[in-house]
């Protein structure tokens, strides 16, 4: 073992121990007063893919390794000290739809996953909770994070990256002792879905799917939040979709299964120009009725709307629905001119 590797491991161990000591030192009288302020809600135990995690007091220094977890925290009045970069390269990894909730608070430190989780940086933030609800944490990653602070991983009852936004919001509500507030937030957004279905009854039962042009045709499965937006609006996904995708959040289609794209409304997340041109030039795809009848919705993936389509959360959905629903209505109205 090289001296540099030994040094790095010693450094990591030292940082982890220091972080644990710092978190422990934050207990005592403060923990008692927090529990009382939350109405005696603690301790709270959250079940997840790797067991369960008990939280003894209101978390004050939260680091999110789940890619969209910051939005539920912000919606419930907590600004995380660390977030994980995913889409948009927004300052603090806080999307435009969450700026009102961030307000004038200091932006979180942004962590990268390019070379794996940044354990040392996470530990240096002295978290009292690490949140990984919308994630694909492995057992080893969870075990390492749990040595830094109590860690809540993705739920076991859904695929990785498959937690519904409602479940994410309510779980964060339980963690923060704000379950009633979380329920109100969820109800408000679900009311928007109800109104959209009522105003667009043609959505109910119509087939739909969401795809990208990543390495061909990449389609999202039923447990992906993007697909759940469509089904929450009343649409039905292709019957064989999950058989093709399996337990993943999405998969590339073979040429033989492009029939799964031939739906009543097809949402494409793609670059504004190149992706659309490539589809129009593709004889296999352009021969499908969905293409010939212009039943497509093209959402540029590098725009705020495109980011919101992937960053499905209690905060992003109101803006997303305002823009997406009219485009879906134009796709399914039977008029290629729209």
Say if residue 29's pLDDT is above 70.
no
CATH class of 200-332: alpha beta
**57 within 8 A of 279, measured Cβ to Cβ:** no
For 215, 238, 273, the CA distances from 290, given in Å and listed in that order, are: 20, 13, 19
Domains 3-178 and 200-332 share a fold: yes
**199 within 8 A of 263, measured Cβ to Cβ:** no
Residue that the structure tokens 């942004």 belong to: 110
Name the residue ranges covered by the structural domains of the chain: 3-178, 200-332
- Topology adopted by domain 3-178: Rossmann fold (3.40.50)
Token pair of 43 as six digits: 């301790």
Beta strands across the sheet bearing 82-84: 109-111, 82-84, 62-64, 129-131, 151-152
> What is the spatial distance between Cα 220 and Cα 248, in angstroms, rounded to a whole number?
9
- The conformational region for residue 243 under phi > 0 = left, psi -120 to 50 = alpha, else beta, is alpha
pLDDT in tens, 76-125: 999 999 999 999 899 999 999 999 999 999 999 999 999 999 999 999 99
pLDDT in tens, 201-212: 999 999 999 999
pLDDT class of 264 with cuts at 50, 70, 90: very high
The helix or strand, by DSSP H or E, that contains position 324, with its residue range, turns out to be: helix 317-332
Rg (CA), the chain: 22
């Amino acid at each position: 073992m090289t001296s540099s590797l030994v040094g790095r491991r010693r450094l990591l161990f030292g940082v982890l121990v220091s972080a644990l000591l710092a978190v422990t030192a934050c207990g005592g009288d403060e923990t008692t007063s927090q529990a009382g302020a939350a109405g005696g809600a603690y301790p709270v135990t959250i079940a997840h893919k790797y067991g369960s995690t008990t939280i003894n007091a209101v978390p004050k220094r939260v680091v999110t390794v789940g890619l969209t977890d910051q939005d539920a925290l912000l919606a419930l009045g907590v600004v995380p000290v660390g977030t994980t970069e995913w889409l948009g390269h927004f300052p603090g990894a806080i999307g435009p739809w969450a700026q009102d909730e961030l307000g004038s608070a200091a932006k979180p430190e942004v962590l990268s996953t390019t070379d794996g989780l940044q354990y040392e940086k996470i530990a240096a933030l002295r978290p009292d909770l690490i949140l990984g609800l919308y994630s694909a944490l492995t057992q080893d990653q969870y075990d390492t994070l749990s040595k830094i602070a109590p860690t809540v991983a993705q739920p076991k009852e859904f695929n990785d990256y498959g937690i519904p936004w409602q479940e994410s919001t309510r779980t964060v509500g339980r963690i923060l002792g704000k379950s009633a507030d979380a329920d109100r937030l969820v109800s408000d957004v679900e009311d928007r879905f109800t109104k959209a279905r009522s105003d667009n009854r043609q959505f109910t039962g119509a087939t739909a799917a969401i795809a990208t042009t990543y390495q061909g045709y990449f389609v999202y499965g039923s447990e992906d939040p993007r697909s759940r937006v469509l089904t929450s609006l009343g649409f039905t996904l292709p019957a064989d979709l999950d058989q093709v995708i399996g337990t993943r959040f999405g998969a590339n289609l073979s040429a033989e299964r492009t029939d799964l794209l031939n739906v009543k409304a097809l949402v494409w997340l793609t670059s504004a120009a190149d992706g659309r041109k490539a589809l129009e030039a593709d004889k296999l795809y352009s021969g499908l009725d969905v293409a010939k009848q212009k039943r497509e919705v093209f959402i540029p993936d590098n725009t705020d709307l495109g980011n919101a389509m992937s960053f499905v959360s209690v905060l992003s959905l109101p803006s997303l629905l305002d823009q997406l629903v009219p485009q879906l209505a134009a796709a399914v109205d039977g008029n290629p001119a729209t």
